[in-house]
Amino acid sequence: MLALWLKIRALPTWALPLLLGIVLLLLPSLGMNYGMTRQVILTLLLALIVSGLNLNLGYAGELAMGHIAMYAAGAYTAGLIGKAGITEIWVQLLVGALAALVVGLVSGVPGLRLGGWSLAMTSFFLILLIPDVLSIFKESTGGRNGLTGIATPTLFGEPVTENQYYVLVVVIAILWFAFMRNVVVSRHGTAFQVLKQSPVLASSLGISVFRMKLSAYALGAIPAGLAGVLFANLDMFISPEAFTFTVAMTVLAASIFGGSASVYGALVGAGVLQFGLNQATNFQEYGLIITGGFLLFGGVLFSGGIAGVGQKIVRKLDYKAAEQAGRSKGSSAENAVADVEVLQGANLSVQTVSKAFGGNKALSQVSLEAKPGAVTAIIGPNGSGKTTLLNMISGYYETDEGVIALDDLQIQGQPSYKVARSGVSRTFQTPNIPKNLSVIEAVESGRYSTQRASILQAVFRTPKFRRIRREDRSEAQRVLNLVGLGSQLNADADSLPLGNRRLLEVARSLIGSPKVILLDEVASGLDEDELDVLADLILRLREAGLTVVIVEHNFQLVLRLADVIYVLAQGSVMAHGAPAEIEKNPRVMEEYLGIVSDSDGTSLVGA
């Protein structure tokens, strides 16, 4: 059984989906009747719309209901130009996809700029506006009575027959899912999943949150527009009833039930909804209730949908196969000694920076300097402003006053993703690791903004894309070896122990060859061996020329590593100097360690 499984896994990942596509193409020649052919067509149209939602919801983490409006835009565009005499189906597909893209951009830009649930709300209102818009232009659209008189589509001047139309729908579905699959398994798909995990994390890697969300939303509009064009040419009639809130909920239910974080989950969910629920006699009357039940059922019982269940089974079979072959999961690579490349650090200067939240003064006139080839430590009790200072350097908070500069470049007031692209990299107090990524994929995400390959280059697997992908993999392996995780390349990143997740974050922050690295409580949760690996790495980074800033509670580790220490207390710099000076500073001992020296020099702990 496991031997058979290994043979199946040796096949290219696109082989089985391609086989399914070929079977669908051959169904009419195998005697499938018109009724079943129509159901397959409707299933594929629904799957196209669902796949667009999956890009937004499952990968980019944005709930958007507006795909029905994009579906309507594609359908009415095709219908209107068809009535006007433009019957070439490939022209209609291009124009319909463009119309859907425009609707997506018009609704997506304001919704995404406002943030939060704004995109969900703006896209929801798009659905409510469809009947009113159709009524306003009823002379052209037919209003609530629907659009009739659509001419038969042609392909290179010849009318499209029923069988040709079926083949056309299947071919377009195959091409779109191949397109989506290539995007999802590329570095762009990884960036989408980083964005879904945390916009803060995405921006720290140099990813523009707004542009990435808008890219996902715009891409998701394309299959909805294509589905609309094909729907308009199915019966040569378009009814507003095809674009209601109930239909939108059906799309959402298919996404959740099939698996929103899955390319082919859209096909599974669409198949269940089309062949199951829509066959019910009273579906139209109780559509919302039935669909709502499916949402609850899929959301509660199937975390990740049916595709998620399948992925768990695949992982279990992979683990058993690896175990039988004498390998532990994720041990596909051996640890190797990796050299730290020469790094061009930058001088980080913070001058008289202040920050208040309401009436609370978090930082007051804080100044510090971190130099290349040196480790600068920031210590202080909880609430002293250490992480706030790092967040201001990273661009998450704006300064109330003061200047933050990298060499001669002032970065205060810059968006966080631009600060990251300037060369500032960081880790977080709580490790921020995206789900559903392997260790090596999570680390590769750190190079997204340093090497650029467009989405189209990813889709067509151009030489530039392949070169960058090889470099991503090579660099990820190198930095994972640096932090001692070279033997866990293929392990699930979010399932690693806490200490290893912290080391993974360090690797991710190093892969982009930063000028400054900010380490926030990076030693917390590490055991002695991991601490030794971390300490050795920090010292090697210093020798390589990097500017290292570390916020840490482990005072002994700070004394061991730091060239200069800044001590914060109540938002101000209480003291700074070499480790030997700070260790003997009475005020530091009292404020930070709770040690008070009496008049004869004796130290009293906890006084």
Contacts of 569 (CB under 8 A, 6+ apart): 380, 381, 384, 591, 592
Question: What 8-state DSSP symbol labels residue 602?
Answer: -
Question: Cα-atom radius of gyration of the chain, to the nearest Å?
Answer: 29
pLDDT tens, residue by residue, 122-166:
777 888 888 888 888 888 888 888 999 899 999 998 999 999 999
Pairing of strands 572-577, 564-569: antiparallel
Pairing of strands 401-406, 409-410: antiparallel
- Predicted local distance difference test score (pLDDT) of residue 249: 84
Contacts of 288 (CB under 8 A, 6+ apart): 245, 246, 249
pLDDT tens, residue by residue, 288-317:
566 666 566 655 555 677 777 777 777 677
Contact, 516 vs 422, CB < 8 A?
Answer: no
Residues of the chain with pLDDT under 70: 1-3, 5-6, 9, 111, 114-117, 277-303, 315, 318-319, 321-339, 591-607
What domains lie within the chain, and their CATH numbers? 2-315 (1.10.3470), 348-599 (3.40.50.300)
Q: Is 385 exposed, middle or buried (0-12, 13-18, 19+ CB in 10 A)?
A: buried
> At 317, which helix (H) or strand (E)?
helix 305-324
* Backbone phi and psi for residue 402, each to the nearest 5 degrees, phi listed first: 105, 175
Provide the b/e sequence for 435-447 (b: ≥16 CB within 10 Å): ebbbbbbbbbbbb
Alpha helical stretches, state H, 149-186: 162-184
- Predicted local distance difference test score (pLDDT) of residue 334: 47
**Residues 106, 75: Cα–Cα separation, whole Å:** 18
- Predicted local distance difference test score (pLDDT) of residue 293: 63
- Predicted local distance difference test score (pLDDT) of residue 290: 60
> At 480, which helix (H) or strand (E)?
helix 463-482
